[in-house]
Structures are given as C-alpha cells and as structure tokens.
Amino acid sequence: MSDRDRARAVLAGLEGIRSDLEDFYKDLHRHPELGLQEHRTAKKASDALRNFGYEVTDGIGGTGVIAILANGEGPTVMARADMDALPVREQTGLPYASTITVTGDDGTEQPVMHACGHDVHVTCLIGCAQLMAQAKDAWRGTFLALFQPSEENGDGADAMINDGLTSKAPRPDVVLAQHVLPYPAGYVGTRPGSFLSAADSLRVTVHGRGAHGSMPQAAVDPVVMAAMIVVRLQTIVSRELAATTPAVVTVGSIHAGTGPNVIPDSAVIQLNVRTYDDASRTQVLDAIERIVKAECEASRSPKAPEIERTASFPPTVNDEAPTRRVAEAFAAHFGDDAHTIDLQTASEDMSEIPKAFGTQFSYWGIGGIDPDLYAAAAKNGTIAQDIPVNHSPTFAPVTQPTLDIGVSALTVAALAWLGA
C-alpha cells in the first residue's frame, strides 16, 4: 500500500468523527485556559486518548500530556499540539465565544480567549489520534500525541522536558507540529529551513537623577535618555544588518515619572526582538546592549543600566529532509492546496522538544480564514486591514474546512513514516 493509499484508508474514518470533533473544538473555544492552568483542557484530551486505547501520562510539567499508541515494529512519530490561550477579551460574536475571566497575579480580572488557535491544534491532534487508533491495520510503528502547556509564555516545552518528558516516552524519529494562520482555510504550507523567528523580550532600566521640572540643570533626565535610546535602536535593522537579513526591533513600552513637573530618577523600556538565525540574533542583542550603555554614558547616568531578558523563544528552523518528506506527502494528498509558505515573524518553543530528544522535526502552517473573505480582501488589496490575525480579539478560524484540513495534515504527515 502506498503512503497516499494508506492516508486515504486512515482518513476514511474522518466523516464519522467530524461532528464530534466540531463539538470538541467549540467546547475548548468556550473554555480557554492560560499557560500552566490548562487543567480542564488536559483532562479532556487525556480522557479522550484513554478511550481511544492510548497509554497516557499526564501532569508532565504541570499540565502536559503524552499519549503512546504502539502498533508493532516500525518508526516512532510524535505529533505535538499546544493548549494555552491568551489574556484577550473575545470580540468575534460567535455563539461559542469565550466569556471566561480569571484573576491575575495582581488581583485584577483578566479575560481569556483562544486568540491564537490552540483550540484548533488540540482538536486536530485528537482527531488524528482517534483515526490512527481506528485504523491500526493501515500502519506500523508507534504514534505519540503530545499536548504542551504554556507555549505563549515560552516555558511550556521546558517545563515538560525538566519534568522528565524524555524518560516518559520513546525517542521519536521525527516530531511534527502545525499552526493555524491567517491564510484561507484549505491552505497547507511547508517551509524547509528557517520558518518562525526567534523572539527575545528585554526590560531595560536606565538611571538618572531626579529633580524639579523647573531645574533641569540639577537632574540627569532618564526620559531624554530613554528617548535617545529608542531612536537609536531603530538604526540597528536599518544600518547594521544587511538589507537581505530579516529582523524586527520593537519598543512596546516606555514608563517613567509620575507627574509633568518632576524629572524622575529612572525610566523603563520594554522591547522585543525578532530574528531568524543565531548570528543575526547575537548581532542585534549585542547592538542593543552597546547602544543602551553608550547613551547612558553620553547622558552622564550615575548608575549602569540594567538589561534583563524577560522571555526568549528559539528560532524554528525546520530540518530539511523531514520537511521535504512532509511536503511531498502534502502535494500528493492536497494537490494545489499544498504550498511553500513564507517566513513568519511569530515565534514558538516547540523546537525545544525535538532538541531534548535529539531528533529532527517539521513544523508547517494551515489556513483558518473563510476563503471567500480572504479572496475578497486579496482582490481589494486589503488583507492587512480585513483579515484578523493571531492574537486579535476577532481572530476566529472557520470550523470547516479548517478542522478537516488540520486533522488530515497531521495524519498524512505521520503516515509518511509509519508504513505498513
């Protein structure tokens, strides 16, 4: 049986589970949970997997789940989905929209929404896992379904790894994962090599000397210092990197002072960096440190600045050989809907999992936007204005064909290794 025929045999069961998967997805969407709080989501996944006949270990790294389905001699394939939501108030108007709020660490109420599509990811992996269990005659090997917490915070993969993930599952020959993106539903896109950017968030505190606003000669003004740093940071990408090297430096927050006539004694700058390889990442981060220190010295700062990295995501760089294999399987199954996807400026921590196992991986994108809406926006040249993107309060993948495509993509990719 060819890989293509094998995929058709396994996916023949999709029609019979489609309605249940749609209900599963809508329930997840109604009940989003923030990173490392995904107890309900993890239990829902674990219960389903046990019913399918998987050997399940849960509570890994807090809420992570690994499920194992051994089916004779053959390769071992891991498919991964992330589970967490975001502190965003949903504005989709969907009948199954989230109305969930939680109390944050600061005591304030936070709205919660699946604004990044992780509910799609969980549902698609559940569907794939069920189909693999229902059609064991069509494949051989071991299939692993991994459900990861806290991707948005960048610490969920490490939490599972530090809790002994690699001793709780066999080493996979390949790790597979996907993300729903603002492309038309039905679209599937692979990309060998660099795919998602590295992301580093920094908090920079610069120190001055406070004084009355009417007596600036007595002060070292950290507001001016911070302003000069912000302006100079913009020259890193435009003047220090080659025009062919993609990178983004964004200052998202500046905070200083309490009143209009008081020069404060410090200012805090928060910024985010996106790069695609270790060389440019190091170059940009080193340039930030150099600029911050130089501007502080030029301003006669009485104290050295503090530069703290508050979050860090590795670049997602797909291994060439497995990504070619996935792309060939997608071309055979999806035809013209299989594409080469562009570089994405989003970031992920998934690659830490195959790194911990010492294995290769392939990560791809699927579309989730109503195809007619996307086509109209493309015709009008208004995609950026009319198509909600991940993390938007209006981001809402259409249920179908998004779920069918996501289940099919995971299944087709896994079966490219799990031959009968």
* Domain range annotation of the chain: 3-195+315-415, 198-313
Question: H or E segment at 286?
Answer: helix 278-298
Residue type, 248: V
List, in sequence order, every residue forming a beta bridge with 275; answer none if it has no partner.
198, 247
Interatomic CA distance for residues 35 and 68, integer angstroms: 24
CATH topology of domain 198-313: Alpha-Beta Plaits (3.30.70)
Residue 255, SS3?
strand
> Could you give the residue ranges of the DSSP H alpha helices within 13-172?
14-30, 39-52, 118-134, 156-162
Strands (E), 107-246: 109-111, 141-148, 174-184, 188-190, 193-196, 198-207, 211-212
Residue type, 53: G
Q: What pLDDT score was predicted for residue 3?
A: 79
142, 76 contact by CB (below 8 A): yes
β-strands 64-71, 141-148 pairing: antiparallel
Question: H or E segment at 85?
Answer: none
Question: H or E segment at 306?
Answer: strand 306-313
Which candidate, 94, 123, 118, places its Cα nearest to that of 37? 118
Counted residue by residue, the chain has a size of 420
Q: What pLDDT score was predicted for residue 104?
A: 78
Taking phi first (over 0 means left), then psi (-120 to 50 degrees means alpha), and beta for anything else, what does residue 112 get?
A: beta
Phi, psi of 309 (to 5 degrees): -85, 115
Residue 334, SS3?
helix
Cis peptide before 401 (omega within 30 of 0): yes
pTM: 0.92
Q: What pLDDT score was predicted for residue 420?
A: 61
> Could you give the residue ranges of the DSSP H alpha helices within 135-277?
156-162, 222-235
Interatomic CA distance for residues 100 and 88, integer angstroms: 10
Which candidate, 111, 303, 306, places its Cα nearest to that of 202? 306
- Number of other CB atoms surrounding residue 325 within 10 Å: 18
Q: What pLDDT score was predicted for residue 165?
A: 98
206, 305 contact by CB (below 8 A): yes
Burial of 116 from C-beta contacts in 10 A (0-12 / 13-18 / 19+): buried
**Alpha-carbon separation of residue 376 from 369, 372, 382 (angstroms):** 12, 6, 8
Q: What pLDDT score was predicted for residue 41?
A: 98
Which candidate, 365, 359, 358, places its Cα nearest to that of 343? 365
Residue 325, SS3?
helix
Q: What pLDDT score was predicted for residue 276?
A: 93
CA angle 22, 23, 26 (to 5 degrees): 85
Which residue matches tokens 């990309």?
191
CATH, domain 3-195+315-415, list 3.40.800.10, 3.90.180.10, 3.40.630.10, 3.40.50.300: 3.40.630.10
396, 209 contact by CB (below 8 A): no
**Alpha-carbon separation of residue 177 from 207, 294, 351, 416 (angstroms):** 44, 43, 10, 14
Show pLDDT as tens, one digit a residue, over the chain (420 residues).
787 888 999 999 999 999 999 999 999 999 999 999 999 999 999 999 999 999 999 999 999 999 999 999 999 999 999 999 999 999 999 999 999 999 977 788 999 999 999 999 999 999 999 999 999 999 999 999 999 999 999 999 999 999 999 999 999 999 999 999 999 999 999 999 999 999 999 999 999 999 999 999 999 999 999 999 999 999 999 999 999 999 999 999 999 999 999 999 999 999 999 999 889 999 999 999 999 999 999 999 999 999 999 999 999 999 999 999 999 999 999 999 999 999 999 999 999 999 999 999 999 999 999 999 999 999 999 999 999 999 999 999 999 999 999 999 999 999 999 976
Interatomic CA distance for residues 288 and 271, integer angstroms: 10
Which residue matches tokens 């289940």?
407
